Amino acid sequence: MADLTITKQLLRETALATREQMSRQERTEHSERICQNLWALIQERQANTIHTYLTMGTEINVLPLVQQLLDAGKQVVAPKTMKQRQMEHRIVRSLQDMESGVFGTYHPKSENQFSGTLDLIIIPGLAFDVNGGRLGYGGGYYDTFLIQHPDAWKVGICYPNQLLPGVPLEPHDISMDQVVC
């Protein structure tokens, strides 16, 4: 188990460094294309309640998609990251109504929490593999969350250089139904 932990940590460091080395223009072009593909997928799956992370740092910028979803009358839910692998899930009403959270995150100011069924969940990560395996940031937040929503369509999104032939997985790791990159 210690070897797997070390392997995962080295892979996280490499994936993050690779992402950081991409030019702003590359990240923007990939983000736009990924958001277009996500929009098409959301329409195809007739998803009405979508959970998504809110972009931080050099992650794929999903904020234009969030605005598009809001404009289309979809229900958008975003996490408020808390300590001890917990997330609150808040309803997004406006991208202008946000506040800072832990670990450099941000979330809706409104305390309107979502409880119900999610149709689709958009999930960030540092690397994914062709079989839907995900290498996250190491906090276990999404694994804890995803196990509570087994029927939601789980979509990992990544830049092309983050899609690998395989990522190391542990029994508690939840695989994606689809990876868009």
Domain map (residue ranges) of the chain: 2-180
Question: Bridge partners of 75?
Answer: 49
pLDDT of residue 138: 82
> What's CA 88's distance to the chain center, in Å?
15
Structure confidence at residue 5 (pLDDT): 73
In the prediction, which pLDDT does 16 show? 93
User: What dotted CATH number matches 2-180?
Assistant: 3.40.50.10420
Q: Which two tokens stand for residue 132?
A: 């839907």
Regarding pTM above 0.75, the answer is yes
Distance CA 140, CA 45 (A): 27
User: Is residue 135 within 8 Å of 127, Cβ to Cβ?
Assistant: yes
Q: Which two tokens stand for residue 47?
A: 């998803």
- Which residues, given as ranges, of the chain have pLDDT below 70? 1-2
